[in-house]
Structure 1
Amino acid sequence: MTGTAAAVGALLDLPVPEDGPTRWEPSRAEGWSGSLGAGFRLRLLWESRAYFGVPGPEWDAAQEEAEAYLAALTSVLDERWGPHRVVSMGAFVRGGAGDGPVLPLFAELCAFDLYGDLMVWGPVGSPHGPRWVAVSVGQCDEDAPHLMVAAVSDVPVEEPPG
């Protein structure tokens, strides 16, 4: 888990765009490895093994693995920055996030159907001023891999109304 925590630290060292459209990070591998947009950076940290079919033993094993990785990373980051707080993405799942503007970070998480609760720390120090750090595990479809992501934001990551 040290390598994953180091990846979160490296993400914190990068600047975030002040404005502009959200775009994918350049990646050596095919597919999505992260995004950046107005006030945030989002990075893929880990992906579970692929499996197919409806939930069952393979899905359960992948879910347990994802939860264990998230718990381990959360523990390391709690030691570094103090206790985290949980920010639910439930308002987006229920469609109750309101009609107002959505933070670009939340819009990007929703674009990938990553609705897992966010473990949030902040503000924490960075070379670019105070930042908020969030980690989460989500899955866009029953037979899609679980994805663990980290985000850095230059504004507080707060639960949306609704």
Structure 2
Amino acid sequence: MTLARVITVLLLFWPMAAAVKAADVTANAESAAEEGETWPFAGVYKMPVWIDQVQRVCPWKSDAGEGYIRVVRTNFKGPHGIYLQWIRKGIAGSETQAISTVWVKELEEQYQVRLQMPQPELSSAACHLTALAESIITDRRYKMEFIVKGPGDYQLLVTSMLQGGL
């Protein structure tokens, strides 16, 4: 099994594991509160070390449901990797779950960059994520725009920035 598939499987089950962990922490905090103790970090859990940052960026809605898009930036083997996740909200008390997770393979295969967390802008047709990036090999800078649509559907547009001279 390739590393990308392992990470994808982990990202799919991460929200469920986090919910279980948060429920366990909340239960422990409630039992401690019953005993007269208070725990200030109820509901906090620890993310895996290879996850650098997570950001909820844009809402989405379709006939099948609604939810939000989440960007997960990893810090594995040097360059930043990006995963896009479509999270569907549960209805009638069911759990929120990741319905699609996509690894942005262009960032490792073609561009090998350090990347800022993308800044979101919502339009009527898509979620536009814009970030500046820098090559770990040549120090060349790029402007990267992710056009994110339905679950599993994204497009990456890359603009090479001009080299600045001193």
Q: Given the two structures, how large is their TM-score scaled by the length of structure 2?
A: 0.28
Whose helix fraction is larger, Structure 1's or Structure 2's?
A: 1
Q: Which has the larger radius of gyration?
A: 2
Richer in strand (by share): 2
